[in-house]
A and B are shown apart, each in its own frame.
Chain A
Amino acid sequence: MRTAYRTGDRGVLRDVAAIGAAMVAVGASFGAVAVAAGLPAWAALAMSVFLYAGGAQFMAVGLVAAGSPLAAVLAGLLLNARHLPFGLALGGTLGQRRWQRLLGSHLMTDEATAFALARPAGPGRRRAFWLAGTLLFLAWNAGTLLGVLAGGAVGDPGALGLDAAFPAGLAALLLPSLRDRDTRRVALAGAGLAVLATPLLPAGMPVLLALAAVVVPALRGRRAAGADSVPDGTAPAGSGKKDGVAPSGADDAGQVVRAGEASC
């Protein structure tokens, strides 16, 4: 039930290719922007190979061009801190061997993580991670090279609507896991927190703040337990998953609709 995309490896390949195509275009835009901002071509290529994190790369180019290299490092690292919890969640998905974990870690992006976690744990999830990780790495770097070579000839990815492609893809990959009530509540609360915090906090922080939402089911569970006049303390934290009082069907449907709104 966890995957709406009940497809085999070939299906994953096709889905990754759709995001990969968008990544080539955005990578090309990065290469062109970097060169236009005065960075040497090797720097743009080195960033895409060794840093391999789109958001931080665009940010770094902007801040370096503005003459704030230290801010570029700090802001980029803050933006990428989310990879630590991603790594915790993926864990052994990358493979049993040490080199698989060391190499796979570098291929970890939001999209590769989403493609992996959209599949049930096991060999299928590992193949999805490596397929997405490898293909998207190649797409991003091929795009960067194109952009560096083509320079100003690269069009604006915004005109192609590609900035809508990534959140839509992430949301679509996430949707099946939102059928689980607790996961849905946490994800919605996290998304809401992050959006509300975006005007107030530096980039990267709002998304990290979403992690705080994992306490939501525990809170609901405790409240439900209280409503059932179970003495306080008998419901251990995290027990909300099983003994939380089931809401009416209408409430559930409302949650689902809000899921749609929140992730857009």
Chain B
Amino acid sequence: MLIAVILALAVGTYGFRVTGVLLRDRLELPEWSRQLLPVGAAALLAALAATAALTEAGGFAGYARPAGVLVGLALAWRRAPFVLVVVAAAGTTALLRLLGVA
């Protein structure tokens, strides 16, 4: 049973991944829709970042996480190095939790 679950998830997920890549070759996409693909990907990534920053299991993730992400984003905005963005975001959230902020 466990093998079947892992297999189904692995095959299905790879199917999604490879279908998009191979479909791009096959489809004769008009120019306007080709321009839309990176925009759509940006919308997906923005949605992932926003939901990951704000929500947990369908509810609010608490204040510590979005506060950390906000600090990271402010640094990214000021063109700080990427490593600093990531470390500062995690550090802020960790510090807030250490201080008892959920």
Interface, chain A (partner B; CB < 8 A): 4-5, 14-15, 17-19, 22, 39-40, 43, 46-47, 50-53, 56, 60, 64, 69, 72-73, 76-77, 80-92, 94, 101-102, 104-106, 108, 110, 113-114, 117, 158-175, 177-178, 182-183, 186-195, 198-199, 203, 206-211, 213-214, 217, 237-238, 241, 260, 262-264
- Chain A CB within 10 A, most for which of B4, B39, B45, B72: B45
State the main secondary structure of chain A at its contact with B: helix
CA A102 to CA B98, docked complex, whole Å? 44
* Interface residue from B36, B48, B50 paired with A110 (Cβ < 8 Å): B48
CA A53 to CA B96, docked complex, whole Å? 28
- Chain B CB within 10 A, most for which of A17, A87, A172, A188: A172
- A contact residues around B91 at 8 Å (CB): 161
Number of interface residues of B (CB under 8 A): 78
| B44 → chain A closest CB, angstroms | 5
What 0/1 pattern do residues 40 to 78 of B give for CB contact below 8 A with A? 111111111111111100110100111111111111110
The answer on a CB contact under 8 Å between B22 and A106 is no
* Interface residue from A64, A81, A237 paired with B5 (Cβ < 8 Å): A64
The answer on a CB contact under 8 Å between A211 and B44 is yes
Chain B: CB-nearest residue to A16: B82
- Chain B CB within 10 A, most for which of A22, A47, A188, A194: A194
- A contact residues around B6 at 8 Å (CB): 43, 46-47, 50-51, 60
- A contact residues around B82 at 8 Å (CB): 5, 14-15, 18, 169, 172-173
Chain A: CB-nearest residue to B13: A80
The answer on a CB contact under 8 Å between A39 and B21 is no
| A231 → chain B closest CB, angstroms | 21
B23 close to A (CB within 8 Å): yes
- B contact residues around A56 at 8 Å (CB): 9, 13
| A6 → chain B closest CB, angstroms | 10
Q: Which of B80-97 contact A (CB under 8 A)?
A: 82-83, 85-97
- A contact residues around B24 at 8 Å (CB): 87-88, 90-92
Chain B: CB-nearest residue to A115: B82
- B contact residues around A80 at 8 Å (CB): 9, 12-13, 16
